[in-house]
Amino acid sequence: MALQSPNPLFGRPIVTGFFDKRTSSVQYVVADPETKACVIIDPVLDFDPKSGATATTSADELLAFIEREGLRLEWILDTHPHADHFSAAGYLHDRTGAPTAIGEKVQDVQKLWQGIYNIAGCCPADGSQWSRLFAEGERFKIGKLDVEVMFTPGHTLASIAYRIGDAVFVHDTLFMPDGGTARADFPGGSAEALWNSIQRILALPGETRVYTGHDYQPDGREPRWESTVDEQARTNIHLVQAPTKEAFIELRQTRDSDLSMPKLILHSLQVNIRGGRLPEPEDDGRRYLKIPLDALEGAAW
């Protein structure tokens, strides 16, 4: 039976994307044009794995934009615990007092990765690092804009998308149509779950604006991050090549088997399961990351 397209939500937000070249990530400030209320989605805490240096340059750029535009920050939203960059949610919360949020299934990701790092007990695995855990279908407001939470697993166990007015922020499910779809081979990932999540997104009204979490600039083009549901359904290269669930699962699993792991996956997850906070300082006053060896069995080199 065909999926029924949900009714549109109220509002047309102003969306400003900030592309982080180091990680090919897109951070968003999403604002209600009438009330000037806004949210930040998937902010980046800068990290250089070669030197171990951290910085808040990217996050501070978001705050400077919000101040310059006269906006009022109401939420700091994560779509999932990222495997390719540190989240700046904790830093931004400390700077602004704005509440942080993520999907409630983050607790499953915390338990999974605490086992991989052998750090059970170092921090709670109950999602309490965020101010709010969203469940599937929850609704709230940004000013006068309607927001709905969609549980969209596959890339991770905890992935959610945010529908905000006539826009949807789909994190790592769909990329731009010429970039295809996201990988589903991380611990807890599932190509079948990813297919089902993509079908939920494609069932939204066709004119819905789709905003991706990354852009890897196929053929060296300039970064892009906005399309529509209709564009994705008609031209996404992976959905055109593999229009059925069975074909998509085979395509996704075949591609994933040849992909090396993101260079920051083992660095970033121990930060991101803490709500974007670095590990506590040790007795010398320094913070340390823990890198488990041979933990991701079968990963391509």
How many whole angstroms separate alpha carbon 244 and alpha carbon 239? 8
The structure tokens 């109401």 sit at 74
Answer whether 27's CB lies under 8 Å from 18's CB: yes
Q: Which amino acid, residue 85?
A: H
pLDDT for the residue 148 = 98
Q: What is the mean pLDDT of the chain?
A: 95
Query: What mean pLDDT do residues 266-290 have?
Result: 96
Q: What is the pTM of this model?
A: 0.94
Domains and CATH numbers, the chain: 14-272 (3.60.15.10)
In tens, the pLDDT along 75-89 reads: 999 999 999 999 999
Rg (CA), the chain: 18
For residue 33, give the nearest of 63, 71, 85, 89 by alpha carbon.
71
Query: What mean pLDDT do residues 16-26 have?
Result: 97
In tens, the pLDDT along 144-183 reads: 999 999 999 999 999 999 999 999 999 999 999 999 999 9
For residue 237, give the nearest of 253, 221, 220, 252 by alpha carbon.
252
Which two three-digit tokens encode residue 294? 């041979």
Answer whether 71's CB lies under 8 Å from 15's CB: no
**DSSP letter (8 states) at residue 254:** H
Answer whether 75's CB lies under 8 Å from 59's CB: no
With residues binned 3-state (H G I as helix, E B as strand, rest as coil), the percentages for the chain, rounded to 5, are 25, 25, 50
Task: State the SS3 of 163-186.
Answer: EECCEEECCCCECCCCCCECCCCC
Compute the half-sphere exposure of residue 73: CA atoms within 13 Å on the CB side of its CA.
Answer: 24
Query: What mean pLDDT do residues 273-285 have?
Result: 95
